Amino acid sequence: MKILGKFPSTRLRRVRNSEWMRKLISENHLSTNDLILPIFVREGKNKIEKIKSMPGINRYTVDKLGLIIKKAKKLKIPMIAIFPNTPKNKKNSEGSEALSENNLVCRSLRFIKKRFPKIGVMCDVALDPYTTHGHDGIIRKGRIDNDETIKTLVKQSLLQAKFGCDVIAPSDMMDGRIGAIRKALDKNNFQNVCILSYSAKYASNFYGPFRDAVGSKNNLKSDKKTYQMDYKNSNEALREIGLDIKEGADIVMIKPGMPYLDIIKNIKDKFKIPVFAYQVSGEYSLLKNGIKMNLIKDEAIMESLVAFKRAGASAIITYFALEIAKKLKTF
Ligand code: PBG
């Protein structure tokens, strides 16, 4: 780009001098329309339980979900994401609880869809909340078996669609699962159910608090590097996304968020499709604790979220959704 102008006739500070001018020239904005609120669900009745590693975030029993969803509705947050904390005794090596009509996600869907028909609901498709080993897939001969796992993921997707899930979000990183899920959804009359693919999901150290929140942390004895992406790679994300679009993904997700803004920008520029970002649990807890300890100001939250917009994200899954929506106005 050719730089126009020259000091002293050009002074960029001239348009920074007052707040009203800064408002007029601002290039990117965050609105409540951009926010997706993740919600953790737990077994039992009448309980709201704090999550130690995520200050300010709770696990809700299904009967208590109304409390938090009412807040999201009032603040005009368009969509929520449901994550289950499955009790230990319902986990096994195959993750078969994922296919139970009475698992936490299905019960939540029935509860929410009856009472809040207008809020969008997305559900993860992956087996890690249900497996004793904490992996997203099924293990055969010591390895995560791609094609065997897909069979279960397809069933899990159909079950969630049956109970009203609007957006199926495979977060497992198996090859070919988007095509298989799309085909099965279409065959079963779920043509209008969206697929939001966690297309570029990195094997990240920033998921720690989430694994604690869903109770898979202690189960997982190794890493997820044979299916989630290597953080050294960028071109590989283009291939992942290209394939997922071909297979029928409506929206793609980049995850984690802040350390991967370059990936968001690259994907948006190259593919021109809706890109969502996931500001993950580790990012949340680091910011939250930094603010609590007075190391940074709480405007850092807004800064982190606007950065996603600047990079090209359409929407952001963030544990700050409620907190930040209170500060924003919709338009
Ligand atoms: C599970 C899943 C994970 C997250 C969302 N879905 C964790 C993982 O892959 O281990 C992480 C979200 C967060 O850290 O906030 N497939």
CATH number at residue 94: 3.20.20.70
pLDDT band at 218 (very low <50, low <70, confident <90, very high): confident
How would you classify residue 173: left for phi > 0, otherwise alpha for psi between -120 and 50, otherwise beta? left
Give the atom of ligand 1 at the shortest distance from the alpha carbon of 281: 15
Domain count, the chain: 1
Q: Which helix (H) or strand (E) element contains residue 104?
A: helix 104-115
pLDDT at 331 over 70: no
- Atom 6 of ligand 1, residue of closest alpha carbon: 171
Token digits of residue 314:
């359409």
Domain holding 209, by residue range, is: 33-330
Q: Is the CB of 283 under 6 A from ligand 1?
A: no
Asked, for residue 1, whether it belongs to a domain, the answer is no
Ligand 1 touching residue 280 (CB < 6 A): yes
Instruction: Tell me which residue has its CA closest to atom 5 in ligand 1.
Output: 171
pLDDT band at residue 217 under the 50/70/90 scheme = confident
Residue 128 has pLDDT above 90, yes or no: yes
Active-site residue flag, 255: yes
- 158 domain-assigned: yes
- Given pLDDT bands bounded at 50, 70 and 90, which one contains residue 45? very high
Residue 15 within a domain: no
Per-residue pLDDT band for 275 (boundaries 50, 70, 90) equals very high
Name the residue with the closest Cα to ligand 1, atom 7: 207
End-to-end CA distance of the chain: 33
The pLDDT value recorded for residue 234 is: 98
Mean pLDDT of 66-95: 97
For the segment 113-138, the average pLDDT, to the nearest whole number, is 97
Which pLDDT tens digit goes with each residue over 136-172? 999 999 999 999 999 999 999 999 999 999 999 999 9
Task: Establish if 191 belongs to a structural domain.
Answer: yes
User: Which residue in this structure is represented by tokens 């949340």?
Assistant: 284
pLDDT, position 77: 98
10 part of a folded domain? no
Quote the ligand 1 centre to 317 CA distance (angstroms). Answer: 12
How far is CA 317 from each of CA 66, 171, 322, 325, rounded to the nearest angstrom?
A: 20, 13, 11, 12
Compute, in angstroms, the gap from residue 211 CA to the centroid of ligand 1.
Answer: 7
Tell me if 19 is assigned to some domain.
no
H or E element that contains 197: strand 194-201
- Whether 52 is a known active-site residue: answer no
Is position 3 within any domain? Answer: no
* C-alpha closest to that of 156 among 132, 141, 174: 174
Lowest mean pLDDT among 10-14, 68-72, 210-214, 265-269: 210-214
Length of the chain: 331
Indicate whether 330 pLDDT > 60: no
